[in-house]
Amino acid sequence: SDRVSRRSSAVRRKKKGVTMTVPSNVLLQSFRSVLDSPGMSVSHARRGHAIATGFAHPADSAFVAASGAEPQSALVRSAKDVFAGTCGGITVTLVGHPFDTVKVLLQTQSATNPAYKGPLDAASKVVKSEGFKGLYKGVTSPLAGQMFFRATLFFGYARAKEIVGVSPDDPMSYAKAGLLAWMAGSFFESPIDLFKSQWQTQIVQAKQNPNYVPPYKTVGECVKASFNHNGIRGPYQAFGATLVRNLPAGAIYFGVFENTKNYFAAKHEDGKPRDWEIMFAGGLGGFFYWSLFYPVDVIKSAMMTDSINKAERKYKGFLDAGSQLYKQGGVKRLYAGLVPCLLRASPANAGMLFVVDKVKQLLG
């Protein structure tokens, strides 16, 4: 048996007629030394980190390269980001649209002659007059729009993380990537918000004036009017206000979400946050996104529900809108609709970010 062992402990190679013999124990030791080197060590925590953040540790990349495994192509990664974002868009719309309808009704009603006393009163009156489907009035446009917008947002966020080079050791890196992602996403979100707000505000006008005749029978008519009055810039009514809200809020949104998720992940041996922790992180990110910059959203909503015809608008710009709203009811006017907004923010964003995270995990 010793002879068999000695014979099997050699590896023979033939090169140009020359036989080279290398003891197998030398090869094994060399292989182990490579794997055990600092640059090649792949721990469970690092694998968990890759799952939790969507980015592999440099050591993991080295291991992939050494093992000969083919990394995913940029096209495949992008397709997964888009699909996950689309699923997130469906989730956030179905969960959040009724709250958003109530929020817009409270934000845009007259301060001197309000149609609703509060969020519960607004919701009950809508359900009483139009049924539960009234809370989903105009949902078709935001559903399609949110699917497209969220797909774009999470695609942009994934690319922004690559550009910034995010790391748990640099908490601000996620905020920087979030700012870039929302900057790009705003070009898609702003038109969606405009047409949704124009459609929803017709409910308010109808409640306040029985003789009111809605200018648009469909969202398509609203889109057409926007282009007819303002050309290519039509869908970007109040775009400046959208950026004023989205850039800082988007940075905080992803910054809070990712860092909270990383905090939970670090507490587990496998480096993975639990499902409820992902949802908590998403809800917390959504809460800060809306609560810190809500007055800006109120001003944006006022500008988006203003007349599409520029000659008939009440507000000359962002500062003028803010000034007029403040004169209507002081600081309180700038926080109209805050309660339904925050009630929506946490569950809708918790659901959306959880779905996006899980879909990306399932897709690998």
pLDDT, one tens digit per residue, over 134-165 is: 888 767 777 887 888 899 999 999 999 999 99
User: 33-47, 84-98, 127-141, 221-235: which range is least confident on average?
Assistant: 33-47
**d(C-alpha 218, C-alpha 211), whole Å:** 19
Task: Report the pLDDT value the prediction gives residue 35, as an integer from 0 to 100.
Answer: 42
In this structure, are residues 226 and 308 in contact, taking their beta carbons and an 8 Å threshold? Answer: yes
> Band of the pLDDT at 302, cuts 50, 70, 90?
very high
Q: What is the pLDDT of residue 216?
A: 86
Q: How confident is the prediction for the chain on average, in pLDDT? A: 81
Confidence of residue 17 (pLDDT cuts 50, 70, 90): very low
pLDDT of residue 313: 94
For the whole prediction, is pTM greater than 0.75? no
- pLDDT of residue 28 exceeding 50, the answer is no
Report the pLDDT averaged over residues 20-49.
45
d(CA 123, CA 340): 10
Q: Which of 7, 18, 67, 21 is nearest to 42 (CA)?
A: 67
Please state the rounded mean pLDDT for residues 71-78.
Answer: 80
What percentage of the chain carries pLDDT values higher than 90?
46
Instruction: Please state the φ and ψ torsions of residue 237, each to the nearest 5 degrees.
Output: -60, 130
Q: Where do runs of H (alpha helix) occur along 165-293?
A: 172-208, 219-230, 239-265, 275-291
Classify each residue of 306-328 as buried b or exposed e, where b means 16 or more C-beta atoms within 10 Å of its C-beta: bebeeeeeebeebeebbeebeee
Q: Which pLDDT tens digit goes with each residue over 203-216? A: 667 767 778 888 88
DSSP-based three-state secondary structure for 170: strand
pLDDT, position 61: 41
Give the single-character DSSP code of 232.
Answer: G
Please give the helix or strand (H or E) that residue 302 lies within, else none.
Answer: helix 294-304
Give me the pLDDT at residue 70, please.
56
Alpha-carbon span 224 to 250, nearest angstrom: 30
Contact between residue 128 and residue 345 where contact means Cβ atoms under 8 Å apart: no
Token pair 């809020």 is found at: 249
Residue 176 has pLDDT above 70, yes or no: yes
Look at residue 12 in the predicted model and tell me its pLDDT.
44
- Rounded to whole angstroms, the maximal C-alpha distance in the chain is 104
Query: Once rounded to an integer, what is the mean pLDDT over residues 175-195?
Result: 93
Q: Is the pLDDT of residue 173 over 70?
A: yes
What does the pLDDT look like over 103-141, one tens digit per residue? Answer: 877 877 777 778 788 888 888 888 888 888 888 876 777
Handedness of CA 88, 306, 203, 228 (dihedral sign): negative
Residue percentage of the chain with pLDDT more than 70: 79
pLDDT at residue number 307:
93
Task: pLDDT band for 229, please (50, 70, 90 cuts).
Answer: very high
N-term to C-term CA, the chain: 47
pLDDT given at position 223: 92
Partners of 119 in beta bridges: none
Beta strands 10-15 and 18-23, pairing class? antiparallel
Q: Using DSSP, state whether 12 is helix, strand or coil.
A: strand
CA 195 to chain centroid, in Å, comes to 20
* Residues 48 and 272 sit within 8 Å (Cβ to Cβ): yes
Out of 16-30, 87-101, 318-332, give the one with best mean pLDDT: 318-332
- Please state the separation of Cα 31 from the chain's center in Å: 43
Angle between helices 140-164 and 172-208 (to 10 degrees): 160
**pLDDT value at position 49?**
46
Let me know if 41 is exposed, middle or buried by CB neighbors in 10 A (0-12, 13-18, 19+).
Answer: middle
User: For residue 47, what are its two tokens?
Assistant: 């694998």
pLDDT for the residue 114? 81
Q: Is it the case that residue 285 has pLDDT exceeding 90?
A: yes
Helix, strand or coil, per DSSP, at residue 126: helix
